[in-house]
Structure 1
């Protein structure tokens, strides 16, 4: 049995779908019982649990042999780093005595120690903690999620603009969640002795200008990339519901990315292009 933690987000869902398509038994862990029916219809089992409930998590982990571990993102209205560290501690405690034989964990490009640098530090701490425990573990470092641009659909449609914290021509590696899911599912099914650090990104580097061009093609209207000045980052984040602490963390993480963390020489490249991802996003919104 494969246990999927963080099951109902973009990446967790992609991992589960990839395993189910292979005919593998899957248990989805979610705290939202309303999401159970859809996954059960696909053939998955569903376990209802709060990620902070260590006792319940350990019970679920003991029902399987392999775990996909994604530390759920905290609501931006909270102190996200503090909340994500709290959930991480609960998950790590639940691993002790779980009987699992292999873990595949989701991390991110640029993971590094630090304070107020968002997921970069929390996921680095996850990587380090897994290295210290006894269960064989592989780490998947994903590039910037293409799904992060989904919010831009509305401004692209209504204003002909895509707002970004990066310059229009700033290129960075991006990846579709489904491509991460395929890689993680493969790693989960490999022998326990096959471990490592795996970087996953899309076919090429992309910029906010490329995002705008993809929306323009899909929407069949002009769309331009508009850079949000650095001195407005935190204010713009707070305006959409980020707490002071979360806005600071996100701004600092963005600054780290702009400095250009060292990129892997030989990443695993997914097949999904930014253009096809945006085209599917727009088509899905129009069907809805």
Structure 2
């Protein structure tokens, strides 16, 4: 049996779907009752788990052949970094008590850095803590998810301007579609070559790097509306993020992350591990996201 923690998310759902299509028994762990139905419809066993509670996590992973772990950033928490570390500690405590045959952690590009990378330092913490679990480990580090641009699509369509924290606008950076991460994760979970010593590190991104200019151009082509990329001044980042509903600590984590991005620190760790490339393009992902954002914009 394969246990997917965070199965309701884009990556978790893709992993669960791929495993089920291959005929595997999947226990999909979700945080809310309302998230169970969609996963049960594809044949998953479902369970509601409190990721802050080690006993709840232990119950969810009991009897697992392999576990995929995702610790999402609690966006609405007053101190999201502390909350995410709490979730990591709870999961690691449960995994130490009853190690499964394999653990796959969804991590990020730049997770090798201990500090100076904002949110990504939390994935360094995740990887570090998991190294204390007596089980074969795989760290699947992914590039920035294309779906993250969904947050600013309604603004871009309404105002014809796409604000970017990626500087300069023509700088090309790695991204990846969530479904490609999920497919690779499913393959790694059933792969008997999981590391018995040092963790197996696998990095995944799209086969084509993009720039903020490419993102704006793709939105324009799919929506039929002129959208231009705007290099958001560094001094405005925190206020803009806070005006978007983020707490001060969360906004600072995002700002620090993009400082690291623009300094070239968020990338594949040179000479380490394996590399995979997803075939899904930005246009394919945005073909769904842009119409959804247009509907939201029209309803305002």
Higher deviation after alignment, 235-244 or 260-269: 260-269
Output one character per residue of 1:137-182: Cα deviation in whole Å (capped at 9) or x when no partner: 1000000110110122212321222111123212110000000001
CA distances 1:84-110 after superposition (whole Å, capped 9, x unpaired) = 111111111111222411011000001
- 1:201 equivalent to 2:205? Answer yes
What is residue 9 of structure 2 aligned with on the other side? 9
Which of 256, 263, 271 is the equivalent residue of 2:268?
263
Give 1:154-173 correspondences, 5 Å limit: 154-166=154-166, 167-173=168-174
- Kindly state the Cα deviation for residue 202 of structure 1 after the two structures are TM-superposed: 0.3
Superposition pairs for residues 120-135 of structure 1, below 5 Å? 120-135=120-135
Cα distance in 2 for residues equivalent to 1:99 and 1:122: 22
Runs of 4+ with deviation above 6 angstroms:
none
SS in 2 for 1:28: strand
Contact 1:102/1:192, CA 8 A, preserved across alignment: no
Q: Give 3-state SS (helix, strand or coil) of 2:285's partner.
A: helix
Alignment RMSD (CA, Å): 1.9
Q: Is 1:26 the counterpart of 2:26 in the alignment? A: yes
Kindly indicate whether the alpha-carbon contact (under 8 Å) linking 2:6 and 2:31 is maintained by their aligned counterparts in 1. no
Matches within 5 A, 1:74-93: 74-93=74-93
* 1:199 Cα offset (Å): 0.5
Pair 1:221 & 2:207 matched = no
| Alpha-carbon distance in 1 for matches of 2:20, 2:30 | 17
**What's the CA shift string for 1:33-62, capped at 9, x where partnerless?**
011122111111111121112112112211
Please point out which of 235, 244, 248 is paired with 2:239: 235
Change (3 A) 1:264 1:118: closer
Q: Which range moves more in the overlay, 207-216 or 55-64?
A: 55-64
Q: How many residues align?
A: 287
Change (3 A) 1:279 1:187: same
Which of 251, 254, 258 is residue 250 of structure 1 equivalent to? 254
Whether the 8 Å CA contact 1:136–1:192 is kept in 2: the answer is no
The secondary structure found in structure 2 opposite 1:29 is strand
1:279 alignment partner in structure 2: 287
Aligned equivalents of 1:199, 1:22: Cα separation in 2:
23
Q: Which residue of 1 aligns with 2:57?
A: 57
Superposition map of 1:169-188 within 5 A: 169-188=170-189
What SS does the corresponding residue of 1:206 show, helix, strand or coil? Answer: coil
1:123 deviates by: 0.6
CA–CA separation in structure 2 for the residues paired with 1:264 and 1:193: 19
> How far apart in 2 are the matches of 1:226 and 1:174?
19
2:191 maps to 1:190? yes
Q: 5+ residue gaps in structure 1?
A: none
